Amino acid sequence: MDIAGRAHAGENLAKVLVLREPERGPPIVMSDALSVNTINEDEANIRSPCLAHGRRKFTELEEVFPAECQGVIEALDTVFEHEATTRAQGLRAAARLAYHQEHSGPIRAALKVSLEEQIRERLVEPNGSLGKGFQYLLNHWERLTQFLRVPGAPLDNNTVERALKLMIRQRRNSLF
């Protein structure tokens, strides 16, 4: 069975999950929030999109909308700092979850209120690039906050993406 190739993660997921031992419980499935990666939507999977992708939408707009992006970036940076603290302390999944609930939960709640308020008061053009960044976070909020509810849910998939980039670079370089 070919479980690799040029297909998107969502297109290969069903093939991979067939190989998973059922007693392991529901897997945490992480990818970006592209619709092609949610083809095999299933309640048995815990979807957790990459929070770094959400942050990136604002760092790309920071030059154009510095004041509007600053609060979002600072809030997300603080959450990532909390994650670094949990790693440095070697916290296991349950302790990490409790730490994030205590320290990151209020930050995420305040960020959501701020985003919703700015859209409701039309301080941000919903169809503009900044509004689309706001909508990305709000539309995927439940999944982007899995790390506040599910023990072991990661914030991002940067480590895996870096590893994949090495393989892709090698494949491209070997063509010539």
Instruction: Supply the pLDDT for residue 21.
Output: 81
Instruction: Supply the pLDDT for residue 10.
Output: 61
Give the residue from 79, 80, 84, 87 showing the smallest Cα distance to 103.
79
How confident is the model over 34-58, as pLDDT tens digits?
555 554 555 567 777 889 989 999 9
Give the DSSP letter string of 50-99.
Answer: -HHHHHHHHHTTTTTSHHHHHHHHHHHHHHHHHHHHHHHTT--HHHHHHH
Instruction: Supply the pLDDT for residue 102.
Output: 97
Over the chain (176 residues), the average pLDDT of each successive run of 10 is: 58 73 75 55 70 92 95 97 96 96 97 96 92 93 92 83 69 72
Three-state DSSP class for residue 41:
coil
Distance CA 176, CA 160 (A): 26
Instruction: Supply the pLDDT for residue 135.
Output: 94
